[in-house]
Chain A
Amino acid sequence: MSLKNINVALIGNPNVGKTSVFNQLTGLNQQVGNYPGITVEKKMGFCKLPNNIKANILDLPGTYSLNASSIDESVVIELLLNKNDRLYPDVALVVTDVENLKRNLLLYTQIKDLEIPTILVINMADRMETKGISLDILYLEEHLKTKIALISSRKGHGIEELKNLIISYKTISAEPCLNASVIDKPYFDSLQQAFPNQLLYKLWLVITQDVNFLNLERNEIRSTFTKSHSDLKRLQQKETIKRYQFINNVLKEGLKIDTSIAKDYRSKLDRVLTHKVWGYAIFFVILFVIFQSIFEWSKIPMDFIDSTFASLSSMTSEHLPSGMLTNLISQGIIPGIGGILIFIPQIAFLFLFISILEESGYMSRVVFLMDKIMRRFGLSGKSVVPLISGTACAIPAIMATRNIENWKERLITILVTPFTTCSARLPVYAIIIGLVIPDTYVFGILNLQGLTLMLLYVIGFGMAIFAAYILNLILKVKGKTFFVVEMPNYKLPMFKNVAINVIEKTKAFVSGAGKIILAISIILWFLASYGPGKEFKDAEKIVFENAKEHPLSSTEFENAVASQKLENSYIGLMGRGIEPVISPLGYDWKIGIAIISSFAAREVFVGTLATIYSVGGTDNENTIKNKMADEVNPVTGEKIFNFASGISLLMFYAFAMQCASTLAITKKETNSWKWPAGQLVFMSTLAYVVALIAFQILK
């Protein structure tokens, strides 16, 4: 036996419990990355098998068949077509759901045609009894030419048997279980003759699919054997019918269902959850609970993180020897890291709810419920998921648009998703609302600050829907429109799956956004701590000269020097440079700096102000909020953060496209710079205009 790890690929339809099989096999021994060049999630795990054998488990994206209709599905085909790929499986596990065996076997017969040793994993065996299902395993193994593992990933049954099957993969048949080429014998015979060394089914996939395959070969294959689109599709239909005939014949003997035993709670739940009144009522109650928890429950851990980092920052500056490095750590790096970690509670709560809704099967009902309404705005029922996820972060939300089949609906969803209030806007909103909105109650119970925050969410959603409506009228994109949603069985979400999902997603967010924020806060600190001219270098002298007539106390002197330095540092000069543009909105040059630095990531705004005010002052204990509240305009003596400028800032941050990562993901998903550029220009202009109007009316 070689020492090389066995490569195992998990393949299966969506909603068959593939991920829980993966979690059962690998435990927490998993890594989530991306396939090179694309943003499809690549989940790899590691599994110890009996006899000291080890296996790499690759969890491929869920796919209904080997006819790809999305980039996620293409990944599966590209891997299975490329024998030289490092991840090419020694053995494939096709995971199926015992209740949907007929449909799930379609993909199985296709995988078998690729002549990879394949184990058929029949999952959810614990439901066979309540559904009155019985299987003749030996019969099925014989006719499907495989070994079957009957498991329940939910209960953990059958996993050891599955591991033993994986070890003996060399004895498992790699033969196809049916011959689909009889649907057009002359065509397939001549195809095989032309390329005698290639697998026939592989050739067929190269002809019908738009996937990366050795280009030269592909052109060669296609040039002689191509058919019209319509003819190809007819052949694909024949192929599908042929496969189902085979499956039906096998299942006639191998699978018995006693419908008299079957209990059905699905239709009862459906009746309520898709009801024209109750359905919407339940959906809005769920949304309300989600938002409540994001704001209320995460407050405590967020405050804790905030105060921990504030004291950590002042501790380092007190205890480390004073100097450049200490300043960089206490004023640049620590506030920077704190600015990222503070998002964790909210992100985690949001992903928790989204994964519970998806695992339980409820999300498909929401899609069903909302489709007609969303279509009025050029969106799809499937846009609901990205728009809700967008309240956490636009990046996973835009990736979640991939299952929208209609290109125009998908494009519009991608373009408007950044309007929804993502968690990066929250700290900006929180600090400004805290400054300019009084902490009073309306009607005795509703907190005015909380109400303002809710209003900002409504504005975000409203603008997303309105922009979609406009885009729907303007965009002339042709594309086939179709909409197919699977309505899976209701399931109780599994704690382990949900927990792993939340941990992975949160980790990915922190490390992704974290790198940017940390880098920006370090750069910022340098730009704020150095300056080009005499005004910066001779700050002490200048302040001393100016103060000759009114002697300053030592603290006052230090503060004056610090702000003289900041004003003439590189960043100060940049901020003052754009002051003419932003002063009609009610902002001063310090806010200007924060806007410039948060151009790539809006959550940097608060961190920047933190850095600016830490650099520009000597006391570390006073919170940033208090420092901001004390800021006055040196000319008019008015407070900088007043009601008018505060509302103007809120509007600016509600609409502006300040997220480099979102632009990058839009570029990747739309495959063109045109759309992210449009997003940037449109959203920034809108933000400027709305903020301008708000300030000019309110001041």
Chain B
Amino acid sequence: MQTTIHSLKKGQKATILDFDIDLIPLKLLEMGCLPGNDVELLQVAPFGDPLYLDINGSHLAIRIETAKLIEVELINTSEK
């Protein structure tokens, strides 16, 4: 199922599909946020923002406004 990082639930994993390159900070790409890499939502801050993610082995926090820009495909954990 296609969605964005913003709508992941805690503990859910997904694969990054695409994003608007003009709006995504280069630093995030360098941290491993690239199409094809996996992302897992680890924690959500109180009041729902920012999000604490594991992207391709890097642990980082981004705000929801950025998370909304990143399209992902959910990894179905039951198939695993």
Contacts and interface: CB of A to CB of B under 8 A. Distances in A.
A270 interface: yes
Interface residues of A, number: 43
Contact of A368 (B27, B45, B57, B66): B45
Interface stretch (A98-106, A185-193, A455-463, A563-571): A98-106
Contacts, number: 116
A436 to B, nearest CB: 41
Interface in A233-271: 233-234, 236-237, 240-241, 244, 267, 270-271
A572 interface: no
A484 B31 contact: yes
A69 B27 contact: yes
A488 B63 contact: no
A267 B27 CA distance: 24
Nearest to A67: B26
A266 to B, nearest CB: 8
Nearest to B47: A372
Contacts of B34: 237, 240-241, 244
Contact of B25 (A244, A364, A405, A487): A405
A368 B58 contact: no
B24 to A, nearest CB: 8
A485 interface: yes
A103 B35 CA distance: 15
B48 to A, nearest CB: 7
A65 interface: yes
Contacts of A230: 21-22
Given A233-B21, A271-B43, A274-B43, A484 B32 contact: no
A38 interface: no
A270 B11 CA distance: 13
B61 interface: yes
Interface string B53-79: 000111111110110000000000000
A481 B30 CA distance: 17
A682 interface: no
A367 interface: yes
Nearest to B37: A244
Interface string B1-37: 0000000000000000000011001111111101100
A240 B52 contact: no
A64 B30 contact: yes
A487 B50 contact: no
A483 interface: yes
A372 B45 contact: yes
A406 B57 CA distance: 25
A356 to B, nearest CB: 21
Instruction: List 4 tightest A-B contacts by C-beta distance, closest first.
Output: A276-B46, A487-B59, A372-B47, A482-B25
Interface of B: 21-22, 25-32, 34-35, 42-43, 45-50, 52, 56-63, 65-66
Given A371-B49, A381-B50, 8 more contacts: A67-B26, A234-B21, A368-B50, A369-B45, A372-B48, A483-B62, A485-B62, A486-B60
Interface of A: 64-65, 67, 69, 100, 102-103, 106, 230, 233-234, 236-237, 240-241, 244, 267, 270-271, 274-276, 279-280, 364, 367-369, 371-373, 381, 405, 480-489
22 contacts: A64-B27, A67-B27, A103-B58, A233-B21, A233-B22, A237-B21, A237-B29, A240-B30, A241-B34, A241-B35, A270-B43, A367-B61, A371-B49, A372-B45, A372-B49, A482-B62, A482-B63, A484-B60, A484-B66, A485-B60, A486-B60, A488-B59
